[in-house]
Chain A
């Protein structure tokens, strides 16, 4: 019973703040609601027994990535941004197209997985938190170490690319 209440509460918070991200006009509120969504997702991970992933979700997404998002948003002239994005036929068409693609994706995912309750037990399930953390570490650093390292290199490439793109126009010290 308690599990059900906790689940529905967290689901409501997560989905509600997720909707708020899309529906609210003010980007700052959107970013803060996105952070709330991340916290909700992390709490849902806790209810599933994935403590480590919950913690990492908090530290990485809610604690670092979205703080940077919010910080950058706060430096914008929000009024002109809002106007630029909420007017015009083209932006309207893009919005409708995006909404269509997203709802198509969600519907497709639901239709394709309907009726397939997979009975595959994941290696992380049915273990205490410490064991599941260890199992996760083994999966990442022993079995899938190549993919893990390749992802690391990919992230490095992205970081270098971003810096060089920002510098190509003179960066923060550009002369106008």
Chain B
């Protein structure tokens, strides 16, 4: 956690801040989803409360919090109440491991009669060296909340929705994991920060014995792993139970699936969990394939930005703060674009049938992601042979 009290306190505070950031992003995403869907479907959407309907979120939150708290007669009370709380945990813990910017440096200083620092604070909840394995492990726990909600509600619709959802999550986890194998092979690490560092600079590859370097394209994983990127993105839709994979809800057949019996803030907590999974997916996609927090111009790599801001502001510490802000914005733009694609797809594609869903997962995406892993392994091996 840290060397002394201050570092531990700030690292602890960071966890709270990231959790709050995630929760606060949800109302904005809900607004974006409603306005976006209205835009796509040629409607107005919520536009009465506040400018552009932005205060609708606040009104909704108050409405959700003041609703009557109830549970169905046939429900198992413990599980019914635990499920929405557990819905928040996996997404939050997984999101904490995603690096969002370059670290902030704090010089040594004297205060309260003792000397503190120097410190380096990462813009990341916690730095875990096997980031990918950890995030996959955490998000695989999300199936339990759905099962708990589905069974605990004591309703047939809920149970059917929960069973569908967990079958779907397990099926697509395979394709998800295998599509990441390509990235892991390519960069040779589990650490997200090292992956992002490996994507710095201009796109370059070796062809016919000479190195070809692109002038304007960055060295992003997307150009090395296009198939893996598409498979990963599709599988994350299934993992977060979004359309076209939202059979767990399937309102035409199951009313609302596993959260049929939930109302008020309890339902909102499932919503936050779902958006949390979208955020984890977008953050991971940015880190794997879009260079993470780095700017998209090859010569403006993080080291160059840090150098520029240090010269601009005159000191290493304030320079690192400015660089962190720039990279944080860059990360958030990629992040926001990916989240918008999630919303866009939801209002564009219709839902799959159950057999189509299983066919796509097991007979299409699994073989293709296996093929992607094999091709990447051969490619990485050939490149390492050519280097020697």
For B136, the chain A residues whose CB sits under 8 A away are 55, 59, 63
CA distance A70 to B141 in the complex (A): 12
Shortest beta-carbon distance from A127 to chain B in Å: 11
Check if B88 is an interface residue, CB within 8 A of chain A. no
User: What 0/1 pattern do residues 116 to 133 of B give for CB contact below 8 A with A?
Assistant: 000000000000111001
Give 10 new A-B contacts, CB below 8 A, not counting A67-B140, A74-B162.
A55-B136, A58-B137, A62-B141, A67-B143, A68-B170, A74-B150, A74-B151, A129-B130, A129-B190, A133-B130
For B129, the chain A residues whose CB sits under 8 A away are 51, 128-130
Check if B138 is an interface residue, CB within 8 A of chain A. yes
Interface hits, B142-179 → A, CB 8 Å: 143-144, 147-148, 150-151, 159, 162-163, 166-167, 169-170, 173, 177
Chain A interfacial residues counted at CB < 8 A:
27
For A56, the chain B residues whose CB sits under 8 A away are 133, 137
- Known contacts: A55-B133, A64-B170. The answer to whether A28 contacts B151 by CB under 8 A is yes
User: What 0/1 pattern do residues 346 to 357 of B give for CB contact below 8 A with A?
Assistant: 000000000000
Interface residues on B, range: 20 to 34
For A70, the chain B residues whose CB sits under 8 A away are 144, 147, 166
Contact B130 A51, beta carbon cutoff 8 Å: yes
Query: What would be 26 A-B contacts, judged by CB atoms less than 8 Å apart?
Result: A2-B1, A35-B144, A51-B129, A51-B130, A51-B133, A52-B130, A54-B134, A55-B134, A55-B136, A56-B137, A58-B134, A58-B141, A63-B137, A63-B140, A63-B143, A67-B147, A67-B170, A71-B147, A71-B163, A71-B167, A74-B163, A129-B129, A130-B129, A130-B130, A130-B190, A133-B130
Check if B299 is an interface residue, CB within 8 A of chain A. no
How many A-B contacts are there with CB distance less than 8 Å? 84
- Known contacts: A64-B173, A71-B166. The answer to whether A55 contacts B144 by CB under 8 A is no
Chain B residue at minimal CB-CB distance from A55: B133
Check if B191 is an interface residue, CB within 8 A of chain A. yes
Shortest beta-carbon distance from A50 to chain B in Å: 10
Check if B189 is an interface residue, CB within 8 A of chain A. yes
Contact B148 A133, beta carbon cutoff 8 Å: no
For A10, the chain B residues whose CB sits under 8 A away are none
Contact A42 B162, beta carbon cutoff 8 Å: no
For B163, the chain A residues whose CB sits under 8 A away are 71, 74-75
Chain B residue at minimal CB-CB distance from A59: B137
CA distance A68 to B177 in the complex (A): 18
Shortest beta-carbon distance from A17 to chain B in Å: 13
Contact B134 A51, beta carbon cutoff 8 Å: yes
Contact A58 B191, beta carbon cutoff 8 Å: no
For B190, the chain A residues whose CB sits under 8 A away are 52, 129-130, 133
Check if A32 is an interface residue, CB within 8 A of chain B. yes
Check if A41 is an interface residue, CB within 8 A of chain B. no
- Which of B140, B151, B191 makes the CB contact (< 8 A) with A64? B140
Contact A74 B147, beta carbon cutoff 8 Å: yes
Check if A39 is an interface residue, CB within 8 A of chain B. yes
Shortest beta-carbon distance from B381 to chain A in Å: 14
CA distance A54 to B130 in the complex (A): 10
Shortest beta-carbon distance from A23 to chain B in Å: 16
For A74, the chain B residues whose CB sits under 8 A away are 147, 150-151, 159, 162-163
CA distance A42 to B130 in the complex (A): 14
Chain B residue at minimal CB-CB distance from A28: B151
